[in-house]
Amino acid sequence: MATMVEADHLVDDNVRHFGRFYDTPTANPYDAFSGPRRAYEWFRTKEWAGFTLIHPEIAASMIIQDAKYLATGELYVFERASAELSQHAANRRGGLRLPSDLLHAKVTYSAGGFRLGYAFGDDEVSIAIDIDATHLAPAVRGRLSLDVRHASRPLVVSALLPGGAMYTNKIIYPASGTISCGGRPYVFDPTRDFAILDEHKSHLPYRTEWTWGTFAMAVPGGIAGANMGLRESAPGHEEESCIWTPAGVEPLSDLTFTQLATDDPLSRWQIRSLDGRVDVAFTPEGHKDDNLNLAVAKLDYSQWFGHYDGLLRGADQTWRLDHVPGVCEHMLARL
């Protein structure tokens, strides 16, 4: 049974809360520490805020990340009709201070011709994209308005990891506006299209591995979707998985991810939960990879974009997925 937390702050009186939160708290994990330990935790904690976009004509994802010694911004757009993938990334030395109260703040990243910003408010979240063309990818411009009033309930999990700790906050927002890639416009319809927030403040173990997938869809009464994660957790601590329903957020655990042909990067995935509430197939249409191999650090990361088919079973209702856009990813790293 999930441990539910009712608290306005991740840390109260130097003590961190662990479990699933009813609402998004002010999240400053460093308040649990002082002196040299606080400095160490700050340096080892990776922070990011990003969005996965759910749209029938494009797959897209963006992130602003603070790695403490490096601040990065990334965005990709995959145009389904042409199978064209456009990727942009920028970095600069030094960190980027991300707010502890993200849902009432502005976050901007600018480096050269890469400009990305989020502005969170009580009624609307706005996303501004202004990225110049490079010799490898066309310009990407856009403005999206995310509807806070009709968003999903937040998935908020604080958990110990072997050799670290995780905090994540995820919300599905109906999205309106337009994104253009190379001058080709893509219009977002809030009755159909979504932006899924992924906020993290996590001290990841030196050796880190996870597999993760997500999707969202409009259903009568609101939004349904899933956040499906597989990583090693400390005994007795929550996983970061859930089923979103129009009524709320239902805890999910004991997931398996099986790629049907590991020698084919576009092979289909089968994802199931032990209790049968998630039983879906993910079919990739394309993928992006990031690889780094240094003496003390290594990164093998792939994200696939495609669609989900199968069954999603909430406590009171079952939905059949038919070509629902989403993503799946795998990370293996020494950080």
Half-sphere exposure of 216 (CA within 13 A, CB side): 29
Contacts by 25-32, CB closer than 8 A, 24 or more apart: 25/156, 26/100, 26/101, 27/100, 27/101, 27/102, 27/167, 27/169, 27/199, 27/201, 28/100, 29/165, 29/167, 29/201, 29/203
Domain that holds residue 270: 4-334
Per the structure, the count of domains in the chain is: 1
Instruction: Give the Cα separation of 55 and 78 in Å (integer).
Output: 11
> Residue type for 182, please?
G
CB atoms within 10 A of CB 285: 15
Instruction: Give the Cα separation of 208 and 199 in Å (integer).
Output: 18
Q: State how far Cα 83 lies from the chain centre.
A: 23
> Residue type for 128, please?
A
CB of 58 closer than 8 Å to CB of 324: no
Residue 290 is predicted with a pLDDT of 80
CB of 285 closer than 8 Å to CB of 59: yes
Task: Print pLDDT tens along the chain (335 aa).
Answer: 577 999 999 999 999 999 999 999 999 999 999 999 999 999 999 999 999 999 999 999 999 999 888 899 999 999 999 999 999 999 888 778 899 999 999 999 999 999 999 999 999 999 999 999 999 999 999 999 999 999 999 999 999 999 899 999 999 999 999 999 999 999 999 999 999 999 999 998 888 888 999 999 999 999 999 999 998 888 889 889 999 999 999 999 999 999 988 788 889 999 999 999 999 999 999 999 887 665 556 678 899 999 999 999 999 999 999 999 999 999 887 76
Residue 292 is predicted with a pLDDT of 63
